Structure 1
Amino acid sequence: MSLILFTVLILVTGGERIVELVVSKRHAAWAFARGGIESARGHFPAMVTLHTGLLLGALAEAWFVPRPFIPGLGWPMLAIALLCQAGRYWVIWALGNQWNTRVIVVPGMALQRRGPYRFAWLPHPNYLIVAIEGIALPLVHTAWITAIAFTVLNAILLLGFRIPAEERALRAGSTVQA
C-alpha cells in the first residue's frame, strides 16, 4: 500500500469519526429529551485528543520517519482495521439511540443485551474494538510508535476514567434488559 493510499485510509477514518460525532450528537439530544443525565464530562476532551492523535500520529510517523509498508504486516492489519469498523457499526446498531461518545444515561431505561452486548463475559465490546483498531490502523504502514503510544494512553484513559465512570452512571440510572 502506498503512502498516498494510507493517507486516504486515515482521512476516510477521520471522516467516519466525524460522522460518528454527528450521530452521537443526535443520540444525545434524544437522550436529553427523555431525561438523560450526562456524567464524567471531564475526560471527553482527552478522548477526542487521543483519537485525533492516533490519526495524526499514524500519518506523521508514516510520512516523516518514514515507515515502509510491509505487506506481511500491513495487509493483515488493514483487514483487522476494517473488521474493527464493522464491529463499531455493530455496536452502534446494537445500542441504537443509547449509543453515544459521551456518558449519557436515561434513568430507568433498560441496558441493551443484543449484538455484542449479549456476551456477559465482554461488558465493553466497543472499547475492545477501539483498542484493537488503535494497534491495527497505524501498523498498516508500520507506525509502531503511534500504535504503542495510543495503546498505553488509551488503556490509562479507559481503565482509569471512562469505564469506571460509565459503570457508575449505568448502575445509578439503568435497568438490565433481558
Structure 2
Amino acid sequence: MTTGTVLFLAFIVLQRLGELVIAHRNTARLMSRGAREVGAGHYPVMVAMHTAWLLALLVFGFHQTLHMGWLAVYAVLQVFRAWILGTLGARWTTRIIVLDAPIVTRGPFRFIRHPNYALVVAEIIVAPLVLGLIWVAVVFTVLNAAMLYHRIGVEDAALRNKGRHADGQARI
C-alpha cells in the first residue's frame, strides 16, 4: 500500500459520494419543477454495478502501486467530468429525469451525444488500469456496456416522447 494508492482510492470514493449528494439535490429540484423520472426500474441495478466496481477497486487495488501514465489519463478524464457537470449545472443527475425544457447543446454536448456516458465508460476502464487491475476493467466494461445499451435506449425514447426532453446524463 502506498500513500498514492490510498489517496487515489479515497478520491474516487469521495467523488462518487459527493456526486450522489449533488444528483439527489438536483433530482429533487427538477421534480419540484414538474419533471418525472423515466426508467427507474433499472436504476438499482446500475447503482449495484457501480458499487461492485468501486468495491473491486478498494478490495483488490488497495495494495497495488499506481501506474502513472494511466493516472494522467484519469486526471484528464476529471477535467472532462468538470466540463460536463459545469455545462449541465442543476440539470445533472444520475437518473433519467424528463422535463419540458430545451435540450442542452453547448459544451461537450456539441461534440458527443452522451458525454457523461462516454466519461463513465472511460473511467470504468481507466481507474482499474491505474491500479493494474486489468480484469476489473474488462469485467465491468462488459457489465457497463449491457447497462448502457438498455439505459441509452430508455433515455433516447424519453427524448423522442411527445416533445419532452430527458435531463441528467442525457443529451440535454
Asked if TM exceeds 0.5, the reply is yes
* Counterpart residue number, 1:96: 89
Post-superposition Cα deviations, 1:53-107, rounded to whole Å, max 9, x if no partner, equal 22211222234xx7x53x7xx1111111122122112111111222110000112
Distance 1:11 1:170 in 2: 36
Identity %: 37
**Matching residue's letter, 1:111:** I
Q: How far off is 1:4 after superposition?
A: 4.2
Cα-Cα RMSD: 1.8
In the alignment, structure 2 segments of 5+ residues that lack a partner are: 167-172
Note the 1:25-174 alignment, pairs <5 A.
25-63=24-62, 69=65, 74-107=67-100, 109-119=101-111, 122-159=112-149, 161-172=150-161, 173-174=164-165
How many residues were matched structurally?
164
1:94-132 CA-partner distances (Å, limit 9, x unpaired): 11222110000112x00101110012xx21111111111
SS at match of 2:132: coil
What is the DSSP-based 3-state SS (H/G/I as helix, E as strand, rest coil) of the residue aligned with 2:102? strand
Q: TM-score, normalised to structure 2's length?
A: 0.88
Runs of 4+ in 1 over 6 A off after TM superposition: none
Output the CA distance in 2 between the equivalents of 1:145 and 1:101: 26
SS in 1 for 2:123: helix
Paired letter, 1:125: P
Q: Mind listing any 5+ residue stretches in structure 1 that lack a counterpart?
A: none
User: Structure 1 pair 113/49, CA: closer, same or farther in 2 (3 Å)?
Assistant: same
Q: What CA distance in whole angstroms lies between the structure 2 residues aligned with 1:17 and 1:144?
A: 21
Contact 1:7 1:59 in 2 (8 A): no
Question: TM-score scaled by structure 1?
Answer: 0.85
